[in-house]
Amino acid sequence: MHFPYFKLLISWENNYFSCNLFAARESLRNAKKEFSKTEDDLKSLQSVGQIIGEVLRPLDNERLIVKASSGPRYVVGCRSKVDKDKLTSGTRVVLDMTTLTIMRALPREVDPVVYNMLHEDPGNPCIIFMDEIDAIGGRRFSEGTSADREIQRTLMELLNQLDGFDQLGKVKMIMATNRPDVLDPALLRPGRLDRKIEIPLPNEQSRMEILKIHAAGIAKLGEIDYEAVVKLAEGFNGADLRNVCTEAGMSAIRAERDYVIHEDFMKVSLSIWPSSSLLGFQARERISRVIMLF
């Protein structure tokens, strides 16, 4: 009875994996191509401050080829205070993009992104905000791909740097996540992240105010009973309420109208599931945001 559907699904999956395989082969071919560039090939530089790169190979006694973390390759010089003997292939370095020179080399055992972020200018007051910390702060496990191991290495470096902070220092860390349940316990322990602040889903009054903000720019006809709409939007967060306005506009377009009416809002509010339900949280455990302070 469902054979045509399964055939279509299998065909789609085959096409999906074939495309991924083709992309991987192309990436491998490009990686094998020998790189050769001169100063004439360099793109015009913009004053973007500092950027982390990796030494590919020395070009001569004065210049090196460095691959920036964002992708481009540059022919760069080296400041006199940097030991050139340490600039072997694979060494992580910090570039001054305004002068296109190597400012300093980063230790091999330190993740360069975390190190550079936390040691750029420790003398000045600084607040570091890391959104979606669950991307690198998830629970560690023994098995996984090379990408998983790289993420765990970054987490270990972050934990080490948090341990090294002066309690009275001027550097403060703020992290945010929608999934506190998947975070590594070592990241949450006192001394690293001392305060956890839960920001719950908006209540009925807050949902009404959010809905009015998103609906302000929509062409409407007649009176919109926002109170009735938000009663149907139990468990919705700000993004869900914005989606209600978007879908109400789409409903008007399908009805060949250039304005929305109250019924559009009511209809889409019944058809949209709150994001927290899609994540599988229990109603009493729904969390919109958790902010952690160091």
* Range among 24-38, 39-53, 119-133 rated most confident: 119-133
CATH code at position 51: 2.40.50.140
- The residue type of 269 is S
- Between residues 168 and 261, the one the model is more confident about: 261
Please write the tens of the pLDDT for every residue from 195-235.
888 878 888 888 899 999 998 888 888 888 999 998 888 88
| Domain presence at residue 139 | yes
- The confidence score (pLDDT) of residue 260 equals 92
User: Do 240 and 263 belong together in one domain?
Assistant: yes
**Distance of alpha carbon 27 from its chain centroid, rounded?**
23
Question: Does residue 154 have a pLDDT over 70?
Answer: yes
Question: Does residue 186 have a pLDDT over 80?
Answer: yes
- Between residues 6 and 200, the one the model is more confident about: 200
**Percent with pLDDT over 90 in the chain:** 3
| Domain presence at residue 294 | no
| Domain presence at residue 24 | no
Taking alpha carbons only, the member of 293, 276, 278, 279 closest to residue 202 is 276
- The confidence score (pLDDT) of residue 8 equals 55
For residue 45, CA distances in Å to 42, 68, 235, 269 come to 8, 13, 48, 50
- The confidence score (pLDDT) of residue 98 equals 67
Hey, what are 187's tokens? 């990241």
Hey, what are 263's tokens? 């019924």
How confident is residue 25, by pLDDT bands cut at 50, 70 and 90?
low
Q: What is the DSSP string of 172-226?
A: EEEEEES-GGGB-HHHHSTTTS-EEEEE----HHHHHHHHHHHHTTS-B-S---H
Residue ranges making up the domain that contains 214? 204-285
Alpha carbon distance 10, 16 (integer Å): 10
- The confidence score (pLDDT) of residue 274 equals 80
Q: Which helix (H) or strand (E) holds 28?
A: helix 3-32
- The confidence score (pLDDT) of residue 17 equals 62
Please write the tens of the pLDDT for every residue from 47-86.
345 667 778 887 877 888 887 765 677 788 887 777 777 7
Tell me how many domains the chain contains: 3
Hey, what are 72's tokens? 């481009």
- The confidence score (pLDDT) of residue 35 equals 37
pTM: 0.46
| Domain presence at residue 237 | yes
Question: Does residue 1 have a pLDDT over 70?
Answer: no
| Domain presence at residue 7 | no
